[in-house]
Structure 1
Amino acid sequence: MKVAFKFIEPKVDVTENYLENVSQTMKSLFDDSYTISRFESNVLGITKFTQFDNSIKTTAATLHLIQTIEVTYLDVQINISHQQMKLDIEVAISAAIKEYKEADPIAEEMKVVIKESLINDWEKCVWIFDNDAMNYSKELYSEIYTLENSLRQFIDELLTRKLGISWWDTYVGTKTKKDSIHTRTKYIELAPFFNDINLDLMSINIDDLKKIINTGKDYNKVQSAAFENNLWNDIFYNYFSDDISVILESFADNRNHVVHNKLIDAVAYSKIKDNLSQVFDNLNIAREKYFEEIRGEY
């Protein structure tokens, strides 16, 4: 695990001994939970940049910790540098056993405790890099990608069977079609191989998929070209749970959160996983109903 963050604009006097005190604070934070086999603190010195009249003072602290309950051995390296109104902290955690996971609860607890112990001394804390958040996002995006495209596939297969191959032209709203054309045009410039392939459904987002499912459910909001048709009552109601709109709305928010590189911690990861499970369960039940229906026709 590696995380880097910085504190800006001190609220307290940052004295010559501040870095040494921070290092000792790091040590004391974990005295209750860990057996500290060795602690090293080394002030590396002061580098003077006369042209900017800035001084950078750096200290390196290494904590060798043993978490006895889970028998996890961690090396924690905390590098701290201070330059005028800014404090940079980089925390790197490695393990002495192969069973250690990148997104380890111990490591996550550690970075939170370090941040909380210092944040009151500074006006701002800026997160720069978080390896745990990156690993969470990589795992979640793989699941999101699969679920999103599985939902597209099911909608297309179901509506083609129920309404015919021209369902897109007949039942999809004008705005959704325009959005699809706009997205597809930009995409084809990047991947010309797909220029002669129909990408209508692949070019819309989760919100648009939700609109298709809800077509006719609320006549005040529907964008369908054929108002006499009610895709929700006539078709999708028989396959999805009644709260599918709420589930997909959360799914869209979570997808954007992951895709646009927002920070994710253990709490957010758990909430997103729960939402993905809801989408997965709904889709699996819908598929089973659909295939059971097909089997009954033969």
Structure 2
Amino acid sequence: MIRFVMIDIKLDNFNLEKYTDELMEKVKIELNSETLSFYQTEESKRSCFLILDKKQYFIDFIFIATHENFQLKVDIQAKEKEKADKELHDLKIKIKDLIVEDWKQCVWLTDHQSEEFAEDLYKNVHFVENSLRRVINTVLFHHLGGDWWRFMPIHLTNKYSTRISGYQDRAPSFKNVHANLLSIDTDDLVSILEFKTYQMKDQSIFSGTNPFIPDSLQQAEVLKRKQDLGKFNHIMSDIINNKKSIESHQRALTNLLKEQMEIDIDIWEKFFSPWFSCTLREFSGKWKHFSTDRNHVAHNKFIDIKLYQKFKKSMEDLLKIITEAEEKFEEYLKEESTQFLEYMKQSEIEDSYQRQREEKQSIAEEAGIEILDTDQIISLFQEHITATFGDISDEIYYRTDIEITYYEPPLTAPEKIFEIQNNILKRSIHVDIEPDIDESDGCTSRVNFLVYSNGHFKESFEISYVNGEAEFNEDQGNYMPKTEDELNISSLEDIESFINRLLEEEMPEISEDDLASFVCEECREYTVNLSEGNDYGLGICIQCGHKNEVGECRRCETPLDQQEDAFCDSCTEWFKEQ
């Protein structure tokens, strides 16, 4: 059942019978209907049925006139219920599109088809979410024991603590069940996979001297630790005396403490990477899209047939990845003993590099400039690159004829970071990068973007960052800026404009329904245009531009999906009825 209402007609002298006759005749022609018949006509109501692809649909038009406004209520119902009924979807959209300009407002009241799409998709949502929860629980319980939850981020454990009692009160039968993950939001599940725990280094500002370091080096190390410990004591003293000062000290204190820490456990690399067929970056990207799709479904938004098919495919692909990981881990449990794996420690960051970064940071703060290391420069670039290609992806996300792939670049080597594949035209646009990161003082880091269309180079763009540089001023006795830090990312807007232009010129949106079932005489591809509603021209191959012969109906001159003239289905049926 589909029901929508049009409010306040813009036309004068509205006649329901004439209006619906003209409307449904257009619908019949544009949807290639086999039969159209009005079987009930009243002063304020008209009813008809339409046959599309041998399926019967009933449409009621109810005209309501009051002193406040005019309304036209449209009810559409299929004789046979079919969940993914493409003809029903096309019918409701076609009627709406043909009359919407005649009225001031269209209000969608009921759409059982959209509701059925959502109901079916929500089952997929449930399977995907609970599959990942099950994998996380199984893997971490095996490696970390039943109290693995205590290793997790505090914001997640706090969320659990505030929610779980309410959930348990509603379902008292499960009060004694470990249900931590059931209280965690969908978006937060992937943060468990991304989580890393840290521990204090063996040698830090809080530890004693190292007897294995020669005395000649020990003195320098001890001096450096005393300086860092003095800075720490100063910051903490200021915070204890004035709690409001913690905000101004937050960055310096975090950097100071971070240098004393090292990664203890990388949850993904240590526990999940062996079982998943994709990288964490790929999985996080897929999960982000799933979370967006999930919210659309869960929050009762309209779902048309294209969106239903796109959501269905993406959820099934994600479920396949998780299911395969679960099966691999279960096989591992059968083959391997259940003893806990020992925690692996990462190598300590080289002491010389640590001292150099601390010294640079101190100089930069004194000179009032930024001197970033390699990771900070990469992170700065990544933030803007990801935002730009995210905007491009969002603009064309609705298109079902293309597939979009983006990988956040590590910016350590040349690689492909972005690709658009057209499933119909077999065309592609992709972007390669050539990073050149230099953390040296006063030096310029660059990322060069190379844009290709169908494998052919088209254009290059460049963004850059100039690292700050300081020099010691003998007269003033302090460090002064020699080179100001500067970020130039204006080319990212040019990249976005250029790719959008390539899409418009080389990948215009086209439906498979617009293409003939016979091949082009020239390139032998199934890309001959049959639609008169686009700019290609009837019979033109959108792949190579060749003009192909297209048959037409000998009676009504409608284009046919063949190269010879004949009678269309509607005319054939008409002859039979004569």
TM over 0.5: yes
Distance 2:120 2:106 in 1: 27
Query: Identity percentage over the alignment?
Result: 25
- Mapped pair 1:232 → 2:268: yes
Which residue is 1:211 aligned to?
191
Which residue is 1:87 aligned to?
71
Q: Give how far 1:182 is off.
A: 2.7
Once the two structures are superposed, the pairs formed by residues 263-274 of structure 1 within 5 Å of their partners are 263-274=302-313
Distance 1:187 1:111, change over 3 A: same
What root-mean-square deviation, in Å, do the aligned CA atoms of Structure 1 and Structure 2 show? 2.3
Distance 2:292 2:320 in 1: 18
Q: Give how far 1:14 is off.
A: 4.6
Distance 1:198 1:211 in 2: 20
Distance 2:58 2:19 in 1: 14
The letter of the residue matching 1:286 is A
- Mapped pair 1:195 → 2:175: yes
Secondary structure, counterpart of 1:15 in structure 2: coil
Secondary structure, counterpart of 1:235 in structure 2: helix
Pick one of 103, 109, 126 that aligns with 1:122: 103
Pick one of 327, 331, 335 that aligns with 1:288: 327
Which residue is 2:84 aligned to?
103
The letter of the residue matching 1:267 is K
Distance 1:253 1:85, change over 3 A: same
- List per-residue Cα deviations over 1:191-224 (Å, max 9, x = no partner): 233333332111112111111011139xxxxxxx
- List per-residue Cα deviations over 1:46-70 (Å, max 9, x = no partner): xxxxxxxxxxxx322222x333xx4
Secondary structure, counterpart of 1:125 in structure 2: strand
Distance 2:336 2:270 in 1: 19
TM-score, normalising length: structure 2: 0.43
Q: Give how far 1:227 is off.
A: 5.7
Distance 2:3 2:36 in 1: 25
Q: Give how far 1:129 is off.
A: 1.0
Once the two structures are superposed, the pairs formed by residues 1-298 of structure 1 within 5 Å of their partners are 2-10=1-9, 12-17=10-15, 19-32=16-29, 33-36=32-35, 38-44=37-43, 58-63=44-49, 65-67=50-52, 70=53, 72-83=54-65, 84-95=68-79, 101-170=82-151, 172-216=152-196, 228-240=264-276, 241-242=278-279, 243-297=282-336
More displaced 10-residue stretch of structure 1: 129-138 or 233-242: 233-242
Distance 2:93 2:316 in 1: 28
The letter of the residue matching 2:75 is V
Q: Give how far 1:178 is off.
A: 1.8
* 8 A contact 2:117–2:303 mirrored in 1: yes
Secondary structure, counterpart of 1:75 in structure 2: strand
Which residue is 1:220 aligned to?
none
Q: Give how far 1:81 is off.
A: 2.5
Distance 1:265 1:75 in 2: 18
Give the number of equivalent residue pairs.
Answer: 266
Distance 1:108 1:188, change over 3 A: same
Secondary structure, counterpart of 1:248 in structure 2: helix
The letter of the residue matching 1:238 is P
Secondary structure, counterpart of 1:238 in structure 2: coil
Secondary structure, counterpart of 1:31 in structure 2: helix
Distance 1:180 1:230, change over 3 A: same
Secondary structure, counterpart of 1:76 in structure 2: strand
TM-score, normalising length: structure 1: 0.81
Secondary structure, counterpart of 2:42 in structure 1: strand
* 8 A contact 1:216–1:233 mirrored in 2: no
Distance 2:84 2:61 in 1: 21
Secondary structure, counterpart of 2:196 in structure 1: coil
Secondary structure, counterpart of 2:303 in structure 1: coil
* 8 A contact 1:7–1:119 mirrored in 2: yes
Distance 1:85 1:191, change over 3 A: same
The letter of the residue matching 1:228 is D
Report which structure shows greater RCO (CA 8 Å, sep ≥6): 1
Secondary structure, counterpart of 1:61 in structure 2: strand
The letter of the residue matching 1:179 is K
Of Structure 1 and Structure 2, the greater helix share is in: 1
Distance 2:6 2:166 in 1: 40
Q: Give how far 1:28 is off.
A: 0.6
Q: Give how far 1:86 is off.
A: 4.5
Distance 1:245 1:157, change over 3 A: same
* 8 A contact 2:78–2:88 mirrored in 1: no
Distance 1:38 1:89 in 2: 19
Distance 1:199 1:24, change over 3 A: same
Segments of structure 2 that go 5 or more residues without pairing to the other structure are 198-261, 338-578
Distance 1:79 1:31 in 2: 16
* 8 A contact 2:125–2:294 mirrored in 1: yes
Segments of structure 1 that go 5 or more residues without pairing to the other structure are 45-57, 218-225
The letter of the residue matching 2:268 is W
Distance 1:81 1:140, change over 3 A: same
Distance 2:75 2:335 in 1: 60
